[in-house]
Structure 1
């Protein structure tokens, strides 16, 4: 049964995602020290059922959550309950995978407007005059 639907025809099965329950860090007192409510999600891109184009795009992405071995590691510890942290980790994984679902729009090269070119040249001339006035004073 698919756990996470990403796009039409693209879903991740539950057995592809490994959840590890760990103790959360930071403030929280006794609850943090004794309850493993934080969730460590691991998702291996190489062994997943994602399309090859998505795998390559994810490996090219400069994201610290993706290791050089192609494993996505997400740590969720924002909530006190394990279920909410698990859902948060899944949402963050889905957002990361959806970021490569659509290819980026091709850039349309544009030219500066005539007015912006004139303003730029006027600024350059004004700046040059200011610098010229900083020179030595000749009494000729």
Structure 2
């Protein structure tokens, strides 16, 4: 995964941030909205796109866009850095393919040991009972 190519496909938009900040909030557009068009991306192969679509299904819009917001800082530049790092983290975790579990057979010795232990425990419990005097 090449970060430079992915970052070149990102679209950033500065928007006025809500919340605390006094007069600065009304004047400065410090909130950054990042949008990434996954379906039309040239960076990822079809298989990688499929993996990302399945893992990020709840975050994608109907058109297949990933939209992230950041208004943590008063600086637009810092917000842009934060949202870009968050985006790259989401993409890298979305591309991780889990290993397929190999089904293994239970060894016969393990089965025999389990049955032997069950019988042994059963015998111990039988000996705890009162003797039948009839």
Q: Shorter-chain TM-score: which interval?
A: 0.5 to 0.7
- Equivalent in the alignment of 1:71: 65
Give the structure with the larger helix fraction. 2
Hey, what does 1:83 align to over in structure 2?
Answer: 77
TM-score (norm 1): 0.65
Q: Distance in 2 between matches of 1:87 and 1:63?
A: 24
Richer in strand (by share): 1
| Equivalent position of 1:136 in the other structure | none
Deviations along 1:99-128, one digit per CA (max 9) or x if unpaired, are 1222112235688xx6xxx8xxxxxxxxxx
Q: Structure 2 regions of 5+ residues with no counterpart? A: 107-113, 119-134
User: In structure 2, how many angstroms separate the alpha carbons of the residues matched to 1:27 and 1:65?
Assistant: 27
Question: For structure 1, which runs of at least 5 residues remain unmatched after alignment?
Answer: 119-140
1:39 aligns with 2:32: yes
What is the RMSD computed on CA atoms of the aligned residues? 2.6
Equivalent-residue separation in structure 1 for 2:102 and 2:21 (angstroms): 51
For the pair 1:24 / 2:17, whether they are aligned, the reply is: yes
Tell me the TM-score normalised to structure 2 length: 0.67
Q: Is the 8 A contact 2:51 2:95 kept in 1?
A: no
The 8 Å contact of residues 71 and 79 in structure 2, kept in 1 or not, is answered as yes
Using the alignment, how far apart are the partners of 2:63 and 2:82 within structure 1?
24
